[in-house]
Amino acid sequence: MSTTADTQALLAQADRILELNDRGRYTVPTHGLYPFQWNWDSCLVALGQRHNDETRAWLELETLFEHQWDDGMVPHIVFHEPDDGYFPGPDVWNTGRSTPTTGITQPPVAGFALRRLYDSAQDNKKAKREASRLLPMVDRWHQWFFTHRDPEQTGLVALIHPWESGRDNSIDWDEPFEKVPTEGITPYVRRDTLHADPTHRPTKAQYDRYLWLVEHFRSLSWDNAQLHNASPFQIVDPGFNAILIRACDDLAHTATALGYEEIASRNREFAARGRAALETLWHDQNGQYACYDRVSKKLSDSASVGGLLPILAGLSAERASAITQRIQTLGEKVNYLVPSHDPDDERFDAKRYWRGPSWLIVNYLIVCGLRLSEEHQLADEIETQSLKLIETSGFAEYYDPITGEPCGGATFSWTAAMVKEFCLTPKIDKAS
Ligand code: GLC
């Protein structure tokens, strides 16, 4: 693609950030605040890396999957090197692995990333080799989800900790969190508030509950056969499920290209069942999808960006146009789409993470979904607003959707990777 001088300058900055956070075999989200390898950060970073260095991009995924658990789970953090600057560290999780990891997972974007790396590869031989190695591992992860997080075979999977959602501090978790106790947790000192403005971070009451869940799962020896039913927090998040459905579609596509028919048909089936079941999460009054709480058996009224992400899964024309309208309405309330929560909700907080701010990775996933549904005008608008944010506020972790102010950590890897995706990936490829 041809690029203007301004775009070239942005791309050069994005490259510098990806280099700065490159630890050789993996990339940290940003130094200081997040000093390890995070699951979905790495997969999205690989998308950015592929534009300059395919080998490096494949390595990012390989390193993550080297730490896949025997049961198939791919953990949310891999603690490659000790670093006291982060809490809760390996000793709190205590998952008993030789390279320590956490014991929960994160949004499964790997299948989505793998397809894109494979489809755009210049070095086809290497791509075939790498994809053939990774395919069965991603497939095992997808099977793990439907075995351990969908015990009643509903077609949708549940999260057992808010950190699995990737939208850690969303308003979506407030109500279900009331069922999570805090008694008996080991006293602790947070580190996140040393690196970022405490008013942008979760409150102490929320942190206590995050830790109660970790200690509870640890007391069950991280046995995934038990954790789902033993958790007081079991949430079916439409955004998370949409990512999984899309990853299953994409894995099936790559598996077919490589002749792995069994993997292809299994994942096609997962995607079809999931897409049909997504309909049970439709919230008519909000005009978007909502989280379902398996413990209280209630559909949530919280109108977060998790309910817009299903556009990525490929929706019916009726649902796609409803989601498009919903995003357009949000666009009248903010200057920088897509806010992580509806500004009309009194709990909306423009600067506190996941309770209002806009994130480039979410924008990118929504853009890919809108292009799939041929809603190109809104997709163009989100791309333009995203790049404007970067030009005015730099490569932050996330942004105030009204003022555009940068929030959270700075020099952020996935923000840099998404800039590369917005500028360098042809629109047509975002639709596939
Ligand atoms: C925060 C985000 C999570 C992300 C991590 C590293 O915890 O909520 O989605 O993976 O930071 O960037």
| Selection from 334, 294, 357, 361 nearest residue 40 by Cα | 361
- Of 168, 243, 360, which is best to mutate to test ligand 1, by the most ligand atoms within 8 angstroms of its C-beta? 168
CA 297 – CA 285 distance, rounded (Å)? 18
- CA 33–ligand 1 middle distance (angstroms): 10
Of ligand 1's atoms, which has the minimum distance to the CA of residue 167?
8
Q: How many structural domains comprise the chain?
A: 1
Return the pLDDT at 1.
Answer: 47
Q: Is the CB of 38 under 6 A from ligand 1?
A: yes
The answer to whether the CB of 41 is under 6 A from ligand 1 is: yes
pLDDT of residue 199: 86
For the chain, the straight-line distance linking the first and the last C-alpha, in angstroms and rounded, comes to 18
**Distance between CA 349 and CA 362 in Å, rounded?**
17
Decide: 40 in ligand 1 pocket, CB within 6 A.
yes
**Is the peptide bond prior to 338 cis by the omega test (within 30 degrees of 0)?**
yes
CA of 98 to the centre of ligand 1 (A): 24
DSSP for 86-131, please give it. SSS-HHHH----SS-B-SS-----HHHHHHHHHHT-S-HHHHHHHH
Does the beta carbon of 168 sit less than 6 angstroms from any atom of ligand 1? yes
What pLDDT score was predicted for residue 5?
Answer: 83
Please give the average pLDDT of every successive group of 10 residues along the chain, which has 432 residues.
80 98 98 95 98 98 98 98 93 97 98 98 97 98 98 98 97 96 93 86 91 98 98 98 98 98 98 98 98 98 98 98 98 98 98 96 98 97 97 98 96 98 90 82
CATH number at residue 324: 1.50.10.10
Active-site annotation holder among 150, 172, 342, 397? 397
Find the 397 Cα to ligand 1 centroid distance in Å.
Answer: 9
Distance 60 CA to ligand 1 centre (A): 17
Amino acid 202: pLDDT:
86
The continuous run of DSSP H or E covering 411 comes out as none
Give the residue numbers spanning the domain of 404. 4-431
**Is 178 labeled as catalytic in the residue annotation?**
no
Dump the DSSP string for 206-231: HHHHHHHHHHHHHHTTT-HHHHHHH-
By alpha-carbon position, which residue is closest to atom 9 of ligand 1?
166
Q: Which atom of ligand 1 is nearest to the CA of 39?
A: 10
Instruction: State the pLDDT at residue 3.
Output: 67
For residue 298, the surrounding DSSP H or E stretch is strand 298-299
What's the pLDDT at 334? 98
d(Cα 368, Cα 143) in Å, to the nearest integer?
A: 25
